[in-house]
Structure 1
Amino acid sequence: MTRRLATVAAALAIGLGALTACSSDNVTCSTSACTVTFDRGVDAESKVLGIKVKLISVDNGNVKVDVGGTTVSVPVDGSAEAQGFTIAVQSVTDSNVVVRVTKN
């Protein structure tokens, strides 16, 4: 019985850890990655996996993102690395930018 309670407690802790890795409604997370939907035209930022990620600009098919103080330029449908994370741009529309942040 004690082993079963410990297993359930561990599973709940892991599940809650994944949920608390994200800071806002525009974010969906698993244990090692988060998908962030940034609204364009506003000061868009989120804290995910313990790091602040901010949309800076979109220009000629490249998205500039600040990841924990490091600015990276990521091509649409491409990826780049910064601060121990892989940043991948999944889509860009007139209204939003979808970025996936994965811990390396």
Structure 2
Amino acid sequence: MNRLTAARLASGLALGLVLLAGCGSEGSDTNCGLDQCTVTFDRGVDAKTSVLGVDAKLVGVDGDKVTVEVAGESLSLTVGEQGTDVGGLNVAVQSVTDTEVVIKISR
């Protein structure tokens, strides 16, 4: 393996660790990229996560209306509508089912 290949491999591994370190969760599953995360919250549990430097928590669901707390602010969002800006991030609800709520948080 030459030096350039080794450097690329090390860089890729370091980036992967940074992305994984940026996401932590309880009652949720996160899928993070460089500037956005898709969070799937489990319904019926105390679901919360930490992504992109902020905490996010599922507060409640009423039909297609979802209440989440992101960066300490309570947001009421509707499935499929334009996202809401909070703390320098955009938060939008992608889908709601009987078992989960999927939101997208992006820079």
Class of the TM-score when normalised by the shorter of the 2 chains: 0.7 to 0.9
Match of 1:87 in 2: 91
Report the CA distance between 1:15 and its aligned residue. Answer: 2.2
Counterpart Cα distance in 2 of 1:22 and 1:37:
12
Counterpart Cα distance in 2 of 1:33 and 1:19:
13
Counterpart Cα distance in 2 of 1:98 and 1:76:
9
Match of 1:102 in 2: 106
C-alpha contact 1:17 1:31 (8 A) present in aligned 2 = no
Return 5+ residue gaps in structure 2 as ranges: none
Query: What letter corresponds to residue 94 of structure 1 in structure 2?
Result: D
Match of 1:13 in 2: 14
Report the CA distance between 1:67 and its aligned residue. Answer: 0.5
Counterpart Cα distance in 1 of 2:31 and 2:12:
19
Counterpart Cα distance in 2 of 1:60 and 1:37:
17
Q: Percent identity?
A: 43
1:37 and 2:40 correspond: yes
When the two structures are superposed, what TM-score results if normalisation uses the length of structure 2? 0.83
SS in 2 for 1:41: coil
Counterpart Cα distance in 2 of 1:21 and 1:44:
17
Match of 1:26 in 2: 29
Q: Paired residue for 2:53, among 33, 36, 50?
A: 50
Report the CA distance between 1:81 and its aligned residue. Answer: 1.1
RMSD over equivalenced CA pairs, Å: 1.8
When the two structures are superposed, what TM-score results if normalisation uses the length of structure 1? 0.85
Counterpart Cα distance in 2 of 1:96 and 1:83:
24
Counterpart Cα distance in 2 of 1:94 and 1:9:
42
